[in-house]
Structure 1
Amino acid sequence: MNQLKYLAAYPAAIQSQVQQLLDNNQLASVILKKYPAAHAIKTDKALYDYVLDIKNDYLRKTEPLSKITFDSKIHVINHALGLHTTISRIQGSKLKSKHEIRIASMFKEVPIEFLKMIVVHELAHLKEKEHDKAFYKLCEYMEPQYHQLEFDLRLYLTQIDRYGKLF
């Protein structure tokens, strides 16, 4: 069995099922049946508006975001789908911090559900820094299907890792 790096933490039975779908070249059709089209958010401005809509719906009282962008320097190979960064600067006698969200530019070509899962993940870091129980509870609050979408995104990444672009 080839190593399924995006599914390494899942049970062997699930990995075996995915490997069988890959070997029979059926994983793409499973993904496309559930998620038939890529989203229309292609610009940084559209991404900014999309993220702020979600933030305003669920995290209105958190600190503002200064930058939201697609970033071509983020590589999924390095296990990053997106990044939430806080930049601290001293201005006079005060410490000011700016929050930024960067999403890997490869996610311009995925279903909206996958983009939302990544955005929710990065927004959750505004309140919860660690990947703990509170963090995932917040993710599920913003997107009830968070864990299923994360698994499906891992399937998608496995597919494109093996065969290339899907959309």
Structure 2
Amino acid sequence: MKYLQHYPQHIQDQIQTLIDNKKLTSYLQKKYPKTHNIKTDKALYSYVMDYKNEYFKKFQVSKVIYDGKINVISNALGMHTFVSRVQGNKLKSKNEIRVASIFKNAPEKFLEMIVVHELAHFKEKEHNKAFYNLCTFIQDDYHQVEFDLRVYLLHLDLYGKLY
């Protein structure tokens, strides 16, 4: 239950009951019946740019890729980087988003949640109230999807692939 440790005990107990009754897989498959078709870095870039252009017009994104080196164990599912460098008398910034490769074969809602999370960091650097308000503004069911994503990660640890 390492992904659910900060949730109340009664929530953890509900998930444990699903595991004990061998119903965790069906719970996830019923809520998220299929994976997305965004398998390449080019498709991911296009997907991210659609969100960026709708909600974060003034920010530039130079690179978006699936990254096999991002490790869930280190509590990272995606990463955003900001690199600033001086070019002449101007300061240029370069923003990158890297998404863990496990999301190539995950439900689109999970990929959407990660993309929204990483884009929200462009505006709000810290995980504070303003950050989560921005996330829920873009994806209204953000918190439920984040919880289900944690359950999905638990499923991957216990049983492997869902689909």
Specify if TM > 0.5: yes
Of 29, 32, 57 in structure 2, the residue corresponding to residue 32 of structure 1 is 29
Instruction: State the alpha-carbon separation in 1 of the partners of residues 3 and 86 from structure 2.
Output: 39
TM-score by length of 1: 0.94
The Cα offsets for residues 22-74 of structure 1, whole Å up to 9 and x where unpaired, read as 1222111000001010100000000000000011111112x200000100100
What is the total number of aligned residue pairs between the two structures? 163
Tell me, yes or no, if structure 1 residue 141 matches structure 2 residue 137.
yes
Q: Give the match for residue 98 of structure 2.
A: 102
Q: Give the match for residue 153 of structure 2.
A: 157
Moved more, 87-96 or 4-13: 87-96
Q: Give the match for residue 118 of structure 1.
A: 114
| Aligned sequence identity (%) | 61
Residue 165 (structure 1) shift:
1.1
Tell me, yes or no, if structure 1 residue 79 matches structure 2 residue 75.
yes
Q: Give the match for residue 50 of structure 2.
A: 53
Residue 5 (structure 1) shift:
0.7
Instruction: State the alpha-carbon separation in 2 of the partners of residues 115 and 127 from structure 1.
Output: 19
Q: Specify every segment of 5 or more residues in structure 1 that has no aligned partner in the other structure, as ranges.
A: none
Of 88, 92, 97 in structure 1, the residue corresponding to residue 88 of structure 2 is 92
Q: Give the match for residue 10 of structure 1.
A: 7
Instruction: State the alpha-carbon separation in 2 of the partners of residues 105 and 37 from structure 1.
Output: 17
Secondary structure of 1:126's aligned partner = helix
- Counterpart amino acid of residue 136 in structure 1: Y
Instruction: State the alpha-carbon separation in 2 of the partners of residues 73 and 88 from structure 1.
Output: 23
The Cα offsets for residues 141-164 of structure 1, whole Å up to 9 and x where unpaired, read as 110010010011111011111111
Give the RMSD, CA atoms, in angstroms: 1.0
Of 6, 12, 19 in structure 2, the residue corresponding to residue 22 of structure 1 is 19
Instruction: State the alpha-carbon separation in 2 of the partners of residues 60 and 98 from structure 1.
Output: 15
TM-score by length of 2: 0.97
Q: Specify every segment of 5 or more residues in structure 2 that has no aligned partner in the other structure, as ranges.
A: none
Residue 87 (structure 1) shift:
1.4
- Counterpart amino acid of residue 67 in structure 1: K
